[in-house]
Protein backbone atom coordinates (compact mmCIF):
# COMPACT_ATOMS: atom_id res chain seq x y z
CA UNK A 1 0.00 0.00 0.00
CA UNK A 2 1.37 3.45 -0.87
CA UNK A 3 2.66 5.54 2.05
CA UNK A 4 0.39 8.47 1.18
CA UNK A 5 -2.66 6.20 1.55
CA UNK A 6 -1.44 4.38 4.66
CA UNK A 7 -0.88 7.73 6.40
CA UNK A 8 -4.52 8.70 5.85
CA UNK A 9 -6.07 5.48 7.17
CA UNK A 10 -7.30 5.21 10.77
CA UNK A 11 -4.81 3.83 13.27
CA UNK A 12 -4.39 0.06 12.95
CA UNK A 13 -6.05 -0.26 9.52
CA UNK A 14 -4.51 -2.52 6.91
CA UNK A 15 -5.18 -3.05 3.25
CA UNK A 16 -7.78 -5.69 4.16
CA UNK A 17 -9.69 -3.21 6.30
CA UNK A 18 -9.66 -0.72 3.45
CA UNK A 19 -10.85 -3.36 0.99
CA UNK A 20 -13.69 -4.43 3.32
CA UNK A 21 -14.78 -0.80 3.82
CA UNK A 22 -14.67 -0.19 0.07
CA UNK A 23 -16.81 -3.25 -0.68
CA UNK A 24 -19.26 -2.29 2.08
CA UNK A 25 -19.54 1.23 0.67
CA UNK A 26 -20.10 -0.08 -2.87
CA UNK A 27 -22.81 -2.50 -1.74
CA UNK A 28 -24.50 0.13 0.43
CA UNK A 29 -24.53 2.71 -2.37
CA UNK A 30 -25.97 0.16 -4.80
CA UNK A 31 -28.73 -0.77 -2.35
CA UNK A 32 -29.58 2.89 -1.63
CA UNK A 33 -29.67 3.65 -5.39
CA UNK A 34 -31.97 0.73 -6.16
CA UNK A 35 -34.30 1.52 -3.25
CA UNK A 36 -34.50 5.22 -4.21
CA UNK A 37 -35.27 4.45 -7.86
CA UNK A 38 -37.80 1.81 -6.82
CA UNK A 39 -39.57 4.23 -4.48
CA UNK A 40 -39.87 6.85 -7.22
CA UNK A 41 -41.11 4.33 -9.80
CA UNK A 42 -43.68 2.93 -7.37
CA UNK A 43 -45.09 6.41 -6.66
CA UNK A 44 -45.50 7.51 -10.30
CA UNK A 45 -49.10 7.76 -11.51
CA UNK A 46 -49.92 4.87 -13.88
CA UNK A 47 -50.64 7.32 -16.73
CA UNK A 48 -47.50 9.44 -16.17
CA UNK A 49 -46.11 8.77 -19.65
CA UNK A 50 -49.37 9.14 -21.63
CA UNK A 51 -51.25 11.91 -19.80
CA UNK A 52 -49.62 15.36 -19.62
CA UNK A 53 -51.93 16.28 -16.72
CA UNK A 54 -50.36 13.52 -14.62
CA UNK A 55 -47.01 15.32 -14.85
CA UNK A 56 -48.26 18.68 -13.61
CA UNK A 57 -46.66 20.03 -10.49
CA UNK A 58 -48.52 20.30 -7.20
CA UNK A 59 -49.89 23.80 -6.54
CA UNK A 60 -47.76 25.47 -3.90
CA UNK A 61 -47.07 28.99 -2.76
CA UNK A 62 -44.88 30.67 -5.44
CA UNK A 63 -41.95 31.07 -3.04
CA UNK A 64 -42.12 27.40 -2.05
CA UNK A 65 -42.37 26.41 -5.70
CA UNK A 66 -39.18 28.34 -6.53
CA UNK A 67 -37.35 26.87 -3.52
CA UNK A 68 -38.50 23.36 -4.45
CA UNK A 69 -37.34 23.72 -8.07
CA UNK A 70 -33.99 25.19 -7.01
CA UNK A 71 -33.47 22.47 -4.40
CA UNK A 72 -34.42 19.67 -6.80
CA UNK A 73 -32.11 21.00 -9.51
CA UNK A 74 -29.25 21.51 -7.03
CA UNK A 75 -29.68 17.95 -5.75
CA UNK A 76 -29.76 16.72 -9.37
CA UNK A 77 -26.52 18.48 -10.28
CA UNK A 78 -24.86 17.20 -7.08
CA UNK A 79 -25.93 13.64 -7.96
CA UNK A 80 -24.55 14.05 -11.48
CA UNK A 81 -21.21 15.28 -10.09
CA UNK A 82 -21.15 12.41 -7.57
CA UNK A 83 -22.00 9.95 -10.34
CA UNK A 84 -19.10 11.20 -12.45
CA UNK A 85 -16.74 10.69 -9.51
CA UNK A 86 -18.20 7.23 -8.83
CA UNK A 87 -17.67 6.33 -12.50
CA UNK A 88 -13.91 6.83 -12.25
CA UNK A 89 -11.79 3.69 -12.14
CA UNK A 90 -10.99 2.58 -8.63
CA UNK A 91 -13.88 4.49 -7.01
CA UNK A 92 -16.60 2.17 -5.67
CA UNK A 93 -20.25 2.90 -6.35
CA UNK A 94 -22.98 3.01 -8.95
CA UNK A 95 -21.82 5.91 -11.11
CA UNK A 96 -24.15 5.54 -14.09
CA UNK A 97 -27.22 4.96 -11.92
CA UNK A 98 -26.36 8.01 -9.82
CA UNK A 99 -25.93 10.14 -12.95
CA UNK A 100 -29.29 8.90 -14.27
CA UNK A 101 -31.00 9.78 -10.99
CA UNK A 102 -29.48 13.27 -11.14
CA UNK A 103 -30.57 13.82 -14.74
CA UNK A 104 -34.12 12.78 -13.84
CA UNK A 105 -34.21 15.47 -11.14
CA UNK A 106 -33.02 18.45 -13.17
CA UNK A 107 -35.09 20.46 -15.62
CA UNK A 108 -33.66 20.02 -19.12
CA UNK A 109 -35.37 20.06 -22.52
CA UNK A 110 -36.24 16.61 -23.86
CA UNK A 111 -36.00 14.92 -20.46
CA UNK A 112 -39.53 13.51 -20.57
CA UNK A 113 -39.01 12.13 -24.08
CA UNK A 114 -35.81 10.38 -22.95
CA UNK A 115 -37.53 8.97 -19.84
CA UNK A 116 -40.41 7.69 -21.98
CA UNK A 117 -37.98 6.09 -24.45
CA UNK A 118 -36.16 4.33 -21.62
CA UNK A 119 -39.29 3.03 -19.90
CA UNK A 120 -40.80 1.72 -23.15
CA UNK A 121 -37.91 -0.72 -23.65
CA UNK A 122 -39.55 -4.11 -23.07
CA UNK A 123 -37.16 -5.42 -20.34
CA UNK A 124 -37.27 -2.10 -18.46
CA UNK A 125 -41.07 -1.85 -18.61
CA UNK A 126 -41.42 -5.47 -17.51
CA UNK A 127 -39.15 -4.87 -14.51
CA UNK A 128 -40.87 -1.58 -13.58
CA UNK A 129 -44.34 -3.13 -13.77
CA UNK A 130 -43.20 -6.14 -11.72
CA UNK A 131 -41.95 -3.75 -9.05
CA UNK A 132 -45.20 -1.77 -9.14
CA UNK A 133 -47.25 -4.98 -8.86
CA UNK A 134 -45.19 -6.03 -5.83
CA UNK A 135 -46.19 -2.80 -4.02
CA UNK A 136 -49.82 -2.94 -5.16
CA UNK A 137 -49.66 -0.27 -7.88
CA UNK A 138 -51.19 -0.63 -11.37
CA UNK A 139 -48.80 -1.09 -14.31
CA UNK A 140 -47.48 1.97 -16.14
CA UNK A 141 -49.33 2.87 -19.30
CA UNK A 142 -47.06 3.62 -22.24
CA UNK A 143 -49.58 3.98 -25.08
CA UNK A 144 -52.80 5.92 -25.28
CA UNK A 145 -55.72 3.54 -25.84
CA UNK A 146 -57.16 3.96 -29.32
CA UNK A 147 -60.86 4.62 -28.64
CA UNK A 148 -61.77 5.15 -32.32
CA UNK A 149 -60.84 1.58 -33.25
CA UNK A 150 -62.83 0.16 -30.36
CA UNK A 151 -65.90 2.25 -31.25
CA UNK A 152 -65.93 1.20 -34.90
Q: Give me the residue spans of the domains in the chain.
A: 3-141
Three-state SS at 71: helix
The answer to whether the CB of 138 falls within 8 A of the CB of 144 is no
pLDDT per position as a tens digit, 111-139 = 888 888 888 888 888 988 998 999 999 99
Residues 42, 135: Cα–Cα separation, whole Å = 7
Return the sign of the alpha-carbon dihedral for residues 68, 72, 77, 78: positive
DSSP for 136-151 reads TPPPPP-S---HHHHH
pLDDT per position as a tens digit, 71-114 = 989 999 998 898 888 888 877 667 777 787 788 788 888 888 88
pTM, two decimal places: 0.60
Three-state SS at 42: helix
pLDDT per position as a tens digit, 4-62 = 877 888 888 888 888 898 888 878 877 887 788 788 888 888 888 888 777 776 777 88
> Residue 149: what pLDDT?
43
> Residue 148: what pLDDT?
43
Amino acid sequence: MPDWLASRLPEGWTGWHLMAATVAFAVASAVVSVVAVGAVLARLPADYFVNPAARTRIDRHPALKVLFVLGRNLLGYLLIALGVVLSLPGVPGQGLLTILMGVMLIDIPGKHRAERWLVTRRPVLRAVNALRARVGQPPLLTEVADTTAAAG
